[in-house]
């Protein structure tokens, strides 16, 4: 019995300070979910954080090491090292470059931005560049600000429509990268030919709206769902036959599916009151073994970008790297006519005859914007004594595109503003599998099958222990899960090649007899060849003994025992009369061995991977002016510069939706601005 661990955990008050800084950028400054719309890939960044967490687990989660489990969890609570209800290390935001100051005249110096309930001037004055400092003027039809996932597709689509296109990207060309593993697209010919679809567009749009609490634009969502298939097929058309990028047969990629539901005829699949579809392409962190456009060892999303960049350049598009957009230019009527940007040779004016597309990513790395615009995060963190620098996310983006849009007369969507901080399951390698979950008091606290509400609900629990408990029938429950975010992943490559489920079962069985030491068990919800995302699991012959290993004692242990007894009664009755969990998940915890996992709930609120709130636009992604009715002619927003996509939080009916939206809305905007048509 780990009584020292229990006393240490329960007596701890927690200051919420971050454990340290980690740079999640991959080789050559992966722009970390960064200049994206180098858009975040849903799972990848949780995976990066898990790598750090896994290292701690390997080094410090057994009693044989100097850092034993009780001290690991105690230290994690003390430093805010683990985010509640999720699979990420809190405080692991990468090193972020300083953002240069700017001067301008949108409002009086020191005044607060109009139209926002904020306490500080997070916007600043609009920059002014002297005419004499502009070294050159270039003329284009379309100027794309940002060469990430959204910007690359915008440039390609516009060039395919015959437009003369410029892409302004802050990264160096030699290390230009995109991050992400999953791509959500609906009804692509490539997917339908493999049995995934066609699906009903209206049903999918309705599910996005319901998950977004009605705080989204139905038409912006529809444009994604209806055009994502064309976007994906257009990307596939640029991929040479020599690439194995989407090779399902050899396990270079897979489609996420639920157990024993291998094709689209089984979907939508509803669990916890939410529908999901099998349509997400996951590349499993594989890489092309041969050079891609002269570069080696690039990620799959970077590979896609390189092919699309090459295709756009063959149509006349130009990419300008190490170029930072400073300010939009407008005529007397307020129309956007181009941009001024600073590159290696100084300031350059880029005229845009048809339009400018903002695709510079989120503002998660800007603590001033996070504090003043993401008030729920601010309040949560203040109550945990978290400094503003620790409220930021995993990207390096500081809201350049948002500021450009605001200085031009646009508005960021109103509060509450979504961030990608609501994903993840409870403790353990099982992801969002809705086993029985207990809080620090030993009480069950939610319908565990309602996956979009896990993180918000766990954040509201008392600081201390969050535990997951199941018995030897755990696989019966896992097989009932949908394809929602962080559900057990039954994709073919993971199951048949990586053999994640077989590996998990072997590791869990090895926990039997290990007592309070437990074992590290690899996760089964984000599938990658190079990242197993493990959690510590404990096994016991009795529930009483398991609760000891998980850190429960005294009144909390008595409450936990009573909770489990009541839960089993409901399971035998076949109905969750407390919270309404699906009956297929109501499996009594009574057959040994019993398994469990625990993590500390620090109560810390932060951006997570990226902020997801962007500019208010019309149905054609044209940024609206201050009356929220009149479009600002010549200004468009895509990716994380685009608002009205996710409502209060990131909850979608298929993984990879943030990347899928970035790619698709970029594709849509490029065609619209260049004069083309979309669905």
Helix H, strand E, coil C: the string for 548-601 is: HHHCCCHHHHHHHHHHHHHHHHHHHHCCCCCCCCCHHHCCCCCCCCEEEEEEEE
What are 459-510's pLDDT values in tens digits? 889 999 999 999 999 999 999 999 998 999 999 999 999 999 999 999 999 9
What are 24-47's pLDDT values in tens digits? 323 333 332 233 232 333 333 334
Gap between the Cα atoms of 554 and 442, Å rounded: 10
Query: With contact defined as beta carbons under 8 Å apart, do 577 and 530 qualify?
Result: no
Q: At what angle do helices 218-238 and 149-160 cross, to 10 degrees?
A: 80
Quote the tokens at residue 305: 């970008």
Strands (E), 216-259: 254-255
Looking at the chain, the whole-number percentage of residues with pLDDT higher than 70 is 84
Instruction: Report the candidate in 631, 663, 671, 673 with the shortest Cα–Cα distance to residue 225.
Output: 663
**Using 50, 70 and 90 to split pLDDT, how confident is the model at 110?**
low
Instruction: Quickly tell me which residue has 């500019």 as its tokens.
Output: 615
Gap between the Cα atoms of 383 and 386, Å rounded: 8
Cα angle: 296, vertex 299, 304; to 5 degrees: 95
| Domain ranges, ordered by start, for the chain | 137-173+297-361+399-419+607-673
Gap between the Cα atoms of 481 and 276, Å rounded: 10
Quote the tokens at residue 273: 């009151």
Q: What is the pLDDT of residue 67?
A: 28
CATH 1.10.1510.10 holds for 137-173+297-361+399-419+607-673? no
**Main-chain phi, psi angles of 616, to 5 degrees:** -80, 125
CB count, 10 Å around CB of 27?
12
Q: What is the pLDDT of residue 380?
A: 85
Measure Cα distances from 504 to 108, 282, 396, 430 in Å: 60, 20, 34, 9
Whether the per-residue pLDDT at 574 is higher than 80: the answer is yes
CB count, 10 Å around CB of 627?
8
Whether the per-residue pLDDT at 65 is higher than 80: the answer is no
Instruction: Report the candidate in 319, 300, 320 with the shortest Cα–Cα distance to residue 309.
Output: 319
**Main-chain phi, psi angles of 377, to 5 degrees:** -65, -45
Q: Which of 233-237, 438-442, 459-463 has the lowest mean pLDDT?
A: 459-463
Whether the per-residue pLDDT at 377 is higher than 70: the answer is yes
**Using 50, 70 and 90 to split pLDDT, how confident is the model at 180?**
confident
Residues 6+ apart with CB under 8 A from 53: 82, 87, 88, 89
Mean pLDDT of 438-458: 94
Gap between the Cα atoms of 444 and 451, Å rounded: 15
Mean pLDDT of 287-308: 95
Whether the per-residue pLDDT at 517 is higher than 90: the answer is yes
**Using 50, 70 and 90 to split pLDDT, how confident is the model at 77?**
very low
Mean pLDDT of 313-329: 98
**Using 50, 70 and 90 to split pLDDT, how confident is the model at 97?**
very low
Q: What is the pLDDT of residue 485?
A: 87
Query: Which helix (H) or strand (E) covers residue 233, if one does?
Result: helix 218-238
Instruction: List residues bridging with 319 in a β-sheet.
Output: 167
Task: Order the strands of the 280-282 sheet from edge to edge.
Answer: 182-184, 280-282, 254-255
Q: Which residue has the higher pLDDT, 14 or 669?
A: 669
**Using 50, 70 and 90 to split pLDDT, how confident is the model at 651?**
very high
Q: What is the dihedral of CA 473, 479, 483, 488, to 10 degrees?
A: 50
Q: What is the pLDDT of residue 559?
A: 98
Query: With contact defined as beta carbons under 8 Å apart, do 255 and 278 qualify?
Result: yes
Quote the tokens at residue 428: 């353990």
Whether the per-residue pLDDT at 184 is higher than 70: the answer is yes
Q: What is the pLDDT of residue 96?
A: 34
**Using 50, 70 and 90 to split pLDDT, how confident is the model at 250?**
very high
Whether the per-residue pLDDT at 597 is higher than 60: the answer is yes
Q: Which residue has the higher pLDDT, 160 or 91?
A: 160
Query: With contact defined as beta carbons under 8 Å apart, do 452 and 210 qualify?
Result: no
Query: Which helix (H) or strand (E) covers residue 657, if one does?
Result: helix 657-673
Quote the tokens at residue 92: 């692991």
Q: Which of 154-163, 450-459, 621-630 has the lowest mean pLDDT?
A: 450-459
Gap between the Cα atoms of 510 and 500, Å rounded: 15
3-state secondary structure (DSSP) of residue 462 = coil
**Using 50, 70 and 90 to split pLDDT, how confident is the model at 376?**
confident
3-state secondary structure (DSSP) of residue 136 = strand
Whether the per-residue pLDDT at 74 is higher than 90: the answer is no
Whether the per-residue pLDDT at 21 is higher than 50: the answer is no
Whether the per-residue pLDDT at 577 is higher than 90: the answer is yes
């Amino acid at each position: 019995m780990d009584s020292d661990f229990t006393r240490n955990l329960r007596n701890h008050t927690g200051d919420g300070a971050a454990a340290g800084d980690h740079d999640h950028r991959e080789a050559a400054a992966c722009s970390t979910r960064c200049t994206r719309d180098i858009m975040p890939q849903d799972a990848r960044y949780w995976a990066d954080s898990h790598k750090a967490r896994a290292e701690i687990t390997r080094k410090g989660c057994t009693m044989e090491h100097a850092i034993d489990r009780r001290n690991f969890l105690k230290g994690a609570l003390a430093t805010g090292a683990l985010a509640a209800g999720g699979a990420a290390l809190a405080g692991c935001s990468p090193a972020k470059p300083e953002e240069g100051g700017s001067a301008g005249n949108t409002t009086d110096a020191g005044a607060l931005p109009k139209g926002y309930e904020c306490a500080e001037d997070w916007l600043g004055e609009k920059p002014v560049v002297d005419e004499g400092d502009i070294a050159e003027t270039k003329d284009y039809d379309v100027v794309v600000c940002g060469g990430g996932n959204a910007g690359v597709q915008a440039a390609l689509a516009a060039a395919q429509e015959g437009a003369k296109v410029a892409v302004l990207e802050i990264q160096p060309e030699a290390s230009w990268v995109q991050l992400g593993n999953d791509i959500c697209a609906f009804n692509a010919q490539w997917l339908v030919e493999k049995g995934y679809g066609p699906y009903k567009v209206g049903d999918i749009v309705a599910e996005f709206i319901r998950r977004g609490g009605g705080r989204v634009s139905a038409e912006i969502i529809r444009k994604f769902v209806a055009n994502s298939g064309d976007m994906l097929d257009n990307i596939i058309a640029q991929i040479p036959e020599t690439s194995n990028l989407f090779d399902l047969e050899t396990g270079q990629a897979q489609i996420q599916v639920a157990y024993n539901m291998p094709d689209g005829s089984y979907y939508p699949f509803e669990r916890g009151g939410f529908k999901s579809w099998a349509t997400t392409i996951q590349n499993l962190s594989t890489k092309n073994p041969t050079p891609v456009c002269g570069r080696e060892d690039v990620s799959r999303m970077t590979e896609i970008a390189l092919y699309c960049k090459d295709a756009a350049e063959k149509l006349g598009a130009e990419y300008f790297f190490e170029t930072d957009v400073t300010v939009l230019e407008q005529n007397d009527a307020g129309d956007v006519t181009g941009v001024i940007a600073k590159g290696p040779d100084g300031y350059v004016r880029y005229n845009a005859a048809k339009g400018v597309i903002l695709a510079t990513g989120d503002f998660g790395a800007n603590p001033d914007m996070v504090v003043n615009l993401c008030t729920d995060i601010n309040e949560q963190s203040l109550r945990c004594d978290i400094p503003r620098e620790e409220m930021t996310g995993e990207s390096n983006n500081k809201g350049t595109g948002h500021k450009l849009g605001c200085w031009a007369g646009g508005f960021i969507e109103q509060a509450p503003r979504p961030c990608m901080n609501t994903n993840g399951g409870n403790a353990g390698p099982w992801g969002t599998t809705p086993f029985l979950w207990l809080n620090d008091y030993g009480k069950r606290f939610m319908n565990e099958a309602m996956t979009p509400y896990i993180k918000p609900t766990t954040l509201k629990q008392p600081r201390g222990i969050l535990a997951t408990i199941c018995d030897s029938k755990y696989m019966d429950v896992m097989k009932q899960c949908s394809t929602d975010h962080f559900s057990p992943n039954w994709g073919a490559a993971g199951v048949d090649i990586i053999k994640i489920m077989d590996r998990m079962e072997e590791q869990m069985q090895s926990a039997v007899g290990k007592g309070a030491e437990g074992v590290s068990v690899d996760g089964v919800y984000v599938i990658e060849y190079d990242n197993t995302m493990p959690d510590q699991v404990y096994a016991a012959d009795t529930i009483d003994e398991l609760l000891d290993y998980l850190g429960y004692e005294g009144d909390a242990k008595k409450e936990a025992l009573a909770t489990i007894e009541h839960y089993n009664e409901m399971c035998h009755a076949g109905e969750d009369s407390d919270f309404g969990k699906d009956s297929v998940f109501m499996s009594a915890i009574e057959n040994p061995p019993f398994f469990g996992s625990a993590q500390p709930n620090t109560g810390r609120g932060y951006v997570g991977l990226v902020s997801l709130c962007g500019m208010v636009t019309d149905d054609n992604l044209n940024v609206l002016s201050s009356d929220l009715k009149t479009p600002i002619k010549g200004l468009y927003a895509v990716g994380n510069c685009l608002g009205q996509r996710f409502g209060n939080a990131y909850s979608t009916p298929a993984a990879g939706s943030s990347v899928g939206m970035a790619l698709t809305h970029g594709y849509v905007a490029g065609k619209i601005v260049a004069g083309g048509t979309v669905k």
